[in-house]
Amino acid sequence: MLKPLSAYHWPCNISMEDNSSIEDSAVRDFLLWLRVEKGRADSTIESYKRDLKKFLEWVTQNNLSMKTLGGNDVIRFLRDLQEMGYSESTITRTMVSVRSLYMFMDIEGLRTGNPTKSIELPRVPKGLPKAISEDAVNELLSAIEGDDSVARRDRAILEVLYGTGARITELVNLSLGDIDQTENLLKVLGKGNKERIVPLGRFAMKALKDWLAPAGRGCFEPEIWKSRDDSEALFLNRRGGRLTRQGGWGVVKKYGAKVGLGSSLSPHTLRHCCATHMLEHGADIRTVQELLGHASITTTQIYTKVSRDKLIETYRSAHPRALL
């Protein structure tokens, strides 16, 4: 059973318009439910919010009501998105958001039935993860020169991203108490507030210890902390605040540009590399699933296709009976 909506407290960044309509209120209630009951991340909430704002605007422009809107209206919305040039992946994501909203409205008694239930969504083929070679990763890590505080922080960031397969949001949300330096373990809070413990390899652990030394993180610490969250943050910006997701991205892109990887490198690329390189070296797929925090093993299995392609390529170039 869902809690009554009156039991929730509104986060300020979930609000829609000040002069809210009934439709706006339903969306606000839904977004709040996603956060409080489902534990969805801020980035996920923002994605739903953008999609549903697009839908609400369309409903208003066509003089419709979410309470009486039918399946044919939803199909019209879908076709309008296609005519506006949105990609299939964007349309599918938007329709998933709309479908979830109507499921919520049905459960809450805000309307009867879900007009999206029988509508088939566009099928979006799953793209293969884009990983770079081990040599390219080593070149990237070697691009961090010097031993000053910035170099120590940046080296630790890249080593942890590649060494643990952590998402960039997971990395910047790490706190000092999440590291077990005795057992070389890291506590990571993933999607849906699911906690997992991941091992830290020798290089990642050394980089973290160097960063946590007075000549590393100590140089970023202010005389007076602005907040307790900043004081507990593992990674800091130069102003002594917790490093943001955008700041973490900037670190990765900085060294990617330095070694000529450019747009082919992102924090998620290092996550892909962690999984792909482990599988290529014989790691069990269940182990990789646990390390990355995938809820379903089918998500992890995408990486087996990448490794299989590498196997076929190597076989065809090396086996005497496969040479052309």
Q: Which of 206, 245, 253, 268 is catalytic?
A: 268
The full DSSP string for 100-134 is HHHHHHHHHTSSSS-TTTTPPPPP-PPPPP----H
For residue 13 the two structure tokens come to 């960044």
Q: Known catalytic residue: 167? A: yes
Rounded Cα distance, 273 and 279, in Å: 10
Q: Which of 76, 191, 196, 245 is catalytic?
A: 191
Q: Which of 28, 217, 271, 277 is catalytic?
A: 271
∠ CA(300), CA(301), CA(305), 5° rounding?
125
The full DSSP string for 28-48 is HHHHHHHHHTT---HHHHHHH
Rounded Cα distance, 54 and 56, in Å: 6
Contact 198, 291 (CB under 8 A): yes
Q: Which of 48, 162, 255, 303 is catalytic?
A: 303
Burial call 3-33: b when 16+ CB within 10 Å, e when fewer: eeeeeeeeeeebebeeeeeebbebbbbbbbb
The beta strand positions in 127-285, using DSSP E, are: 179-180, 185-189, 195-199
Rounded Cα distance, 217 and 302, in Å: 37
Q: Known catalytic residue: 202? A: no
Q: Which of 28, 93, 153, 294 is catalytic?
A: 294
Burial of 225 (0-12, 13-18, 19+ CB in 10 A): middle
Q: Which of 152, 153, 167, 217 is catalytic?
A: 167
Q: Known catalytic residue: 303? A: yes
Give the 3-state secondary structure of residue 199.
strand
For residue 278 the two structure tokens come to 């482990």
Q: Known catalytic residue: 268? A: yes
Q: Known catalytic residue: 294? A: yes
Residues involved in catalysis: 167, 191, 268, 271, 294, 303
